[in-house]
Structure 1
Amino acid sequence: MRRILVAAAAVSMAVGLAPVANAAVNPILAAPYLYQWSSPPNPVTVMQQTGIKAFTLAFILSDRSCNPLWDGTRSLTGADITRVNQIRAAGGDALPSIGGWSGNKLGTYCSTAQALAGAYVKVIDAGKFTAIDLDVENTDEFQNAAVQDKILNALKIVRQQRPSVKIVITIPALTSGLDTWGNRLVQRAKDLSAPVDVWTVMPFNFSSGGDMVAMTKSSVTGLKNKVQSVYGLTDDAAWRRSGLSSMNGRTDTGEIVTAANFRSIVSWANSVHLARVSFWAVNRDCNNCGGIAQGQWEFTKANATVTG
């Protein structure tokens, strides 16, 4: 099976076709972020040295219209899809992250849910992606009720048009769980019957320090409790709809997530069967690259041990 997938991906790369997704890999479960600027590491090398099988590729943005491009500037079918081909040829897979902290967002520039859904589908089809991550934070994609609803209604259309594609929404959080806007987004997703398969929080940038393992557990548990309450799930089912995306090393506010911390977080995530564990970012996973002393790829190696 692997040889068939490798051969198919190689043919796609040779003739310029869209890559073939690797059905053997769950691209959501254990997929650290890999950003595409500043000489990113070779993902195949990372796979070989860590055992990781999937990556979350950042970011899809708007070009100040309802047109999706990698980082708002690069073609959907250029070098970034070549990287996806390489990952798949090595037996892995990838999903695109749409949004992020900065840049121009499709939720802002697409005027209707229909247009926004069309932009999402364009991304999906360009890479034959089987899952997408919507990184909804910071701008009016997150802190605007009308734009939140536009995103959720767009996802309903995506599910109708590409029913097999899984959808992840990644949002900021507090140590106690979701903030007001996060709580609204989860509730409105239920109200509007928007198809969100996994809810993920970013449990960092809480303060200038503290026990990041304990604060991560508290934050993700708060998310799980909200998902459980809104959707009427069992405890186990709610964990399996929840996830986390940490930040390796020094966070934006000066917190420190050590490799040992992250290994503890992964062990806990496995014990409760989280649906997704990720971190920002593989590019920072080397000695002092994330502001701390560490071994090469320590966080990625830990991420590869996620079992769900």
Structure 2
Amino acid sequence: MRTRHRLLACATAALFGGAGVLMAPAAAQAANLLTNPGFETGTLAGWSCAGNAGSVVSGPVHGGTRALAGAASNSDTARCAQTVSVRPGTKYTLSAWVRGSYTYLGVQGGTATWTGSAADWKQLTVSFTTGASQQSAEIYLHGWYGQGTYYADDISLDGPGGGDDTEAPSAPGNPRATGTSASGVSLAWDAASDNVGVTGYDVYRDGTLATSVTGTSATVGGLAPGTSYRFTVRAKDRAGNVSPDSATVTATTGKDDGNGGDRFIQAAPYLYLGWGNPPSPTEVMKATGIKWYTMAFILAQNGCNPAWDSQRPLTGGQDEAAIKAIRAAGGDIVPSIGGWSGNKLGPNCSTTEALAGAYQKVIDAYRLKAIDVDIENTDEFENPAVQDRILGALKIVKQNNPGLRTILTFPTLNTGPNSWGDRLIERAHELGADIDNFTIMPFNFGGQADMYGNTVKATEGLKAKLVSTFGWTDQQAYHHIGISGMNDSSDAGEVTTAQIWTQIRDWANSHDLGRLAFWAVNRDRPAWQFTSITAGFTG
């Protein structure tokens, strides 16, 4: 990545939307009026959290696979709220499962309840009656100052939907599978119509709610490889009216080769123990569900010897201790060898064989499943001899370590690889380096760049280069592509918000890319939003 030692300003944004849950068809009476009540969309869709203090986590959860985490601080209670349409003079029951100290549940301007301490999940319930002319109600949860993170899940507001609208939307049309991987299926459909307006869609997998979205596409992850699934879609409106099922679409996931599918798939944000008050990797894993980290940086020490940051020992130090903890928690790491700055192995190892030997020391030290060479700057990326040396060394270690996956990470233009990137890809083909993944870093384009649009354009440019060089199909090329972004502000002042990063992740999922990373977990505080989003990458 380009920036290594400078903590850039955070500019994240909470995600808003109108997804929802299953409601009784063709009637305004609904079992639950809340949008995204269990956070199974993997986002904060429908919820507004003050100060960006809310995030969606994969653990701990009460039901399903996601829950809300509110990072209360000394100056903020991490209040998360949602406004719904209600009927005047009507009784409603609000409930939520919560965990943590001093967690509150209530309705704005009305009644509330709270728990002083909940070491495990505890249900809070409160009832209220709307006013004689009340048309909406804001329900909320929050923690308390200095009491730390609270968790909430399976939130419910029982009662009739607001307004006099009883007309259900039409069924979504033309449902179709737009892509598959070993663990996910991407779907799209034509928009439904409604007399007032459609607010979202529920996607069902074999009759069970799988995800809720506001647009006309979705990716359903967490599926078994080589398995056939049936999907239907329902539209809904704000009053709680739900459409009939769409037509059924059947899709089969890809076969598993024992490494996460029939191809290499990895969600691995950067973790750097040499800078920026590094967080506990296992605590971040618990909070976000992330399994892999890209550990930075392996550099040269006293010639052609690998070491962390050129100074910390390869084994026996804090880096090895962190890796052991990550693995004990069910995760793994890929080392980042090289980077933008520092004393690198590529120029310091005088031959291809010597460089392969240095890589092998790292592989042997940690019994690695994958290695990443981050090739940048004039000493490696813009040096033909060093480019060839790196490619040759990767070819050697891959031949000597069956099953090892190899990654090349390098800069890009907003249209795809520059001339040095083109050369790197062409030489990888000519030398038979058998690289598993070509990961680009789509940032530092300058100014107020469209980070989503430019990332997609740069990735499509890389795809075209891989197709023309290797003779792959578009799908094969996508499988060999990775995106490594930069959360919040880049060196050039571009801003990638959490919402934009979610768009990039969803696009990567829908195109079956092989890898997703960002620089860096160290900068993803306090709610680990980008890490949580990255954990939803399924390829």
TM-score w.r.t. structure 2 length? 0.51
1:237 aligns with 2:468: no
1:24 Cα deviation from its structure 2 partner: 7.4
Counterpart amino acid of residue 267 in structure 1: D
Counterpart amino acid of residue 171 in structure 1: F
Q: What do residues 21-53 of structure 1 show as CA deviations (whole Å, max 9, x unaligned)?
A: xx8779951000001123210010000000111
Residue of structure 1 aligned with 2:274, choices 22, 25, 37: 37
Residue of structure 2 in register with 1:299 after alignment: 530
Residue of structure 2 in register with 1:257 after alignment: 496
Q: Is the 8 A contact 1:148 1:185 kept in 2?
A: yes
Aligned pairs for 1:123-272 within 5 A: 123-272=362-511
Residue of structure 2 aligned with 1:76, choices 276, 300, 314: 314
Residue of structure 1 aligned with 2:350, choices 88, 107, 111: 111
Cα gap change, 1:28/1:139 in structure 2, threshold over 3 Å: closer, same or farther?
Answer: farther
Counterpart amino acid of residue 244 in structure 1: I
How many pairs does the alignment contain? 278
Q: Is the 8 A contact 1:25 1:54 kept in 2?
A: no
Question: Unpaired segments of 5 or more residues in structure 2?
Answer: 1-257
Partners of 1:283 and 1:225 in 2: CA distance: 33
Counterpart amino acid of residue 57 in structure 1: M
Residue of structure 2 in register with 1:48 after alignment: 286
Q: Give the SS at the match of 1:75.
A: coil
Partners of 1:210 and 1:154 in 2: CA distance: 36
Partners of 2:300 and 2:497 in 1: CA distance: 34
Partners of 1:248 and 1:132 in 2: CA distance: 23
Q: What do residues 100-145 of structure 1 show as CA deviations (whole Å, max 9, x unaligned)?
A: 1100110000000000000000001111111001000013211011
Partners of 1:270 and 1:136 in 2: CA distance: 25
Counterpart amino acid of residue 165 in structure 1: L
Partners of 2:456 and 2:280 in 1: CA distance: 32
Q: Is the 8 A contact 1:25 1:93 kept in 2?
A: no
Once structures 1 and 2 are overlaid, which stretch shifts more, 157-166 or 46-55?
Answer: 157-166
Partners of 1:92 and 1:25 in 2: CA distance: 13
Q: What do residues 151-187 of structure 1 show as CA deviations (whole Å, max 9, x unaligned)?
A: 1111121112112210000000000000010000000
Partners of 2:259 and 2:349 in 1: CA distance: 34
Q: Is the 8 A contact 1:25 1:92 kept in 2?
A: no
Residue of structure 2 in register with 1:277 after alignment: 516
Q: Give the SS at the match of 1:95.
A: strand
* Higher percent of residues as strand: 2
Partners of 1:28 and 1:279 in 2: CA distance: 15
Q: Is the 8 A contact 1:41 1:283 kept in 2?
A: yes
Counterpart amino acid of residue 299 in structure 1: F
Q: Is the 8 A contact 2:265 2:538 kept in 1?
A: no
Partners of 2:531 and 2:268 in 1: CA distance: 9
Q: Is the 8 A contact 1:28 1:95 kept in 2?
A: no
Q: Give the SS at the match of 1:141.
A: helix
Counterpart amino acid of residue 161 in structure 1: N
Residue of structure 2 in register with 1:10 after alignment: none
Counterpart amino acid of residue 289 in structure 2: G
Cα gap change, 1:298/1:95 in structure 2, threshold over 3 Å: closer, same or farther?
Answer: same
* Higher percent of residues as helix: 1
1:263 Cα deviation from its structure 2 partner: 0.4
Q: Is the 8 A contact 1:25 1:53 kept in 2?
A: no
Q: Is the 8 A contact 1:168 1:199 kept in 2?
A: yes
Q: Give the SS at the match of 1:303.
A: helix
**Structure of larger gyration radius:** 2
Partners of 2:531 and 2:377 in 1: CA distance: 26
Specify which structure has the bigger relative contact order, considering alpha-carbon pairs within 8 angstroms and separated by 6 or more residues. Answer: 1
Q: What do residues 234-262 of structure 1 show as CA deviations (whole Å, max 9, x unaligned)?
A: 11110000010000000001000001000
Partners of 2:378 and 2:273 in 1: CA distance: 21
Counterpart amino acid of residue 148 in structure 1: Q
Q: Give the SS at the match of 2:507.
A: helix
TM-score w.r.t. structure 1 length? 0.88
Partners of 1:24 and 1:106 in 2: CA distance: 28
Q: Is the 8 A contact 1:64 1:104 kept in 2?
A: no
Partners of 1:198 and 1:178 in 2: CA distance: 14
Identity of aligned residues (%): 53
